[in-house]
Chains A and B, each alone.
Chain A
Amino acid sequence: MPTERAIEDYASVAEWAQGLRDQWGGDPLAEEPEKLASLAAFCEFVDMNPDEVLAFCFLRKKASGERFGSQKRREEIAARLREFRDQSGLDAAAARKRVNDVLSFLIHGGVLIHTGMV
């Protein structure tokens, strides 16, 4: 399991939790713990912790060090999400829900990704 500490202790997860609170009100991660479980399962699937998953979607320009969203990395993550869905063994709706939870994590982390890519 790549998440060496509690998943909610990762900065990227704290940012997700805040994004969900700001967007929907309440505390969606506390109210729907399956969201965190979906992310944890994906982290295990790709052998990365949440901060690493998010960081993977971005690169830095060699000259300036400026961070930018990488299309290639985004497509790689989308491909891994498709594998994650297809290998889940869950029914279609449950598998879709798990993928959507991970997409939500990425979207609130500022990644340009959408449901049509997965």
Chain B
Amino acid sequence: MEFKEVLGIRRSIRFFDQERPVEREKIQKILEAMRVASCAVNAHWLRAVVVNREDIPPETMEALKMPVAALVQELAPVHIYCYLDTGIVNRIKGTRLRQLVDVGALAPTHGWSHKFVDEFVYPQVLEPLTQNPAYPIAAAFDCGGAGTQGLLTAVDEGLGVCWTAFNADAAKTLLDIPDDWIPLYVMNVGYSLESREAGGQRPRPEFEELYFEGNARQPFRRDPRVVKDLEKEKLFTPPAPSPNPERMKEIRTMARKLGLPE
């Protein structure tokens, strides 16, 4: 698929095919896509632990579920538990920044050198940053970016995906999670039972409500010609209508197939 079509057809999938396992190769591709994501100071805070649902003991599975996400977790054949490794910055102490200098990603043109990393960036910026209460917020932003690359790769591979929360205590025991990893979300992965459109593109806030130019009160001017171009490139797919009888019919069919309440 073309990149923008992947963005346009992505949906949070909540019904998964119970009969169709996910190929290991596709899971690896998801992880590889996470690894090449943009990341501040090349730290790579994201950690992901892959578990096949059928390998999770039933009592642990129950404990892992969150109330509103329980069914998604129950139906998804593969779970990718995502964490933020808070200790990484103080373990690597700037070595990955030095690598960026070595390969020319960071250069003196922009103020970077080995000495600058060793004597200023790590000791005076990064190490103190890890003591700042806001540190996990900044690191979580990077984890979100990396996770999204994995998510979009899953869509490109023809898989259905949905982020949900999970019970961190149960997962910590099940997965032997180190104490300095912060739980983020679990990516639920499988083949979708839903149609490709899954009811249509979800309602979103108005563009001008979200994006600004010049200052935070001036909405970014949206050019309708750009919107048209993106429609052609399939970033925009038909919006989900409301009411949506066809979608309701689809959900009802899946509910009855899976034995779910209506």
Contacts and interface: CB of A to CB of B under 8 A. Distances in A.
Given A100-B259, A107-B261, A115-B260, A23 B70 contact: no
A24 B74 CA distance: 24
A100 B248 contact: no
Interface string A101-118: 101100100001011110
B104 interface: no
A25 interface: yes
A107 B62 CA distance: 20
Contacts, number: 38
A23 to B, nearest CB: 7
B259 A116 contact: no
Contacts of B74: 116
- If over half of B's interface residues share one DSSP class (helix, strand or loop), that class is named, otherwise mixed; here it is helix
B243 to A, nearest CB: 7
Given A23-B248, A25-B243, A25-B245, A114 B259 contact: no
Contact of B262 (A93, A100, A116, A117): A100
Q: What class of interface size applies to chain A in its complex with B?
A: 10 to 19
Contacts of A25: 243, 245, 248
Interface in A1-46: 20, 23-25, 28
Interface residues of B, number: 15
Nearest to B248: A24
A25 B245 CA distance: 8
A55 B259 CA distance: 26
Interface of A: 20, 23-25, 28, 93, 96-97, 100-101, 103-104, 107, 112, 114-117
Interface of B: 62, 65, 67-68, 70-71, 74, 243, 245, 248, 252, 259-262
